[in-house]
Amino acid sequence: MSPPPRLSARQMIGSNFAFQHFPLAEVARRMRGFGFTEIELWGVAPHLDLFHSSDRDVAEVKRVLAGEGLSVRCLTPEQVVYPINIASGDDAYRAASIDRFRRAADIAAELGARHLFLTPGRGYESEPAERAWDRSAEALRLIAGHAAGLGLRCLLEPLQRVESNIAHSAADTARLLEMVGADNMDVVLDTVAMACAGDSVADYAGLFGDRLAHVHLVDGRPAGHLVWGDGTLPLARILADLAEAGYRGALSFEPFGDGSYALDPVAAWTRHLTALAPHLDPVEARP
């Protein structure tokens, strides 16, 4: 009897999540030290942001990462607490937000990324949610069209209800994806968002198949975006279910918690990766 399938350690990528109070050069050095060759780049100051990063700044980011042998798999601009909202009921605010994401796509392409990471935005709580859905779908369509012209694919992640009044579940995401109608848009499974929505890996795999391209593997209770072991989510079971479904995309770690991980992100990352390692097939050493 053959052993059950497992995901590969090659699928785990680095990121600068929790390192926002450290210079990018140190983040790159730490990610190389963990053995990563690809990262998800969170677009947050002082590393990279959509308001102040010039072409020269982007070139410097590229130089710093390349100096440590790192490439960008995905650019994830801050967009939940940033003054950016593609589903805003304020027309000028929304148009400016869409323009910022066009700029984000330009930056992602310059950095050689595969994906631009997107979320649905948020409408007014005092209006019917359908209006926000329509605005979100239109904005996502415009951004994805710009990204397609640059050879980029996009990622769409559902959010928790406290973050958005648009797409929260796998079914919601499938509906929004259909409304957008972009061939270059894939889907993110965030383990916390999945748990909060009452969804399963089977729900995501069944709805999206190969378009499930990115996983944020974080613990929670069920919310929280915690280091593995600081929450109660069945992460080992989730990894096994992903392997059983034939998942071939990236695994990324997004530790936010209560903000304390940012005091010592190396310790947070080390604990998480130590817990994760027994559940992945190791990367074979090259001769």
User: What local confidence, expressed as pLDDT, does residue 2 receive?
Assistant: 78
For residue 17, name the pLDDT band (cuts at 50, 70, 90): very high
H runs (alpha helix) in the chain: 24-33, 55-67, 91-110, 129-149, 170-180, 191-197, 201-208, 235-244, 265-276
For residue 284, name the pLDDT band (cuts at 50, 70, 90): low
Q: What is the mean pLDDT of residues 85-112?
A: 97
Closest CA to 119 of 84, 72, 71: 84
> Across all residues in the chain, what is the average pLDDT?
95
Token pair recorded at residue 122: 């948020």
Residues of the chain with pLDDT > 90, as a percent, come to 93
CA atoms of 188 and 125, how far apart (whole Å):
25
For residue 139, name the pLDDT band (cuts at 50, 70, 90): very high
Entry pTM: 0.95
Is the bond leading into 83 cis (omega within 30 degrees of zero)?
no
Let me know: does 242 contact 194? Beta carbons within 8 Å.
Answer: no
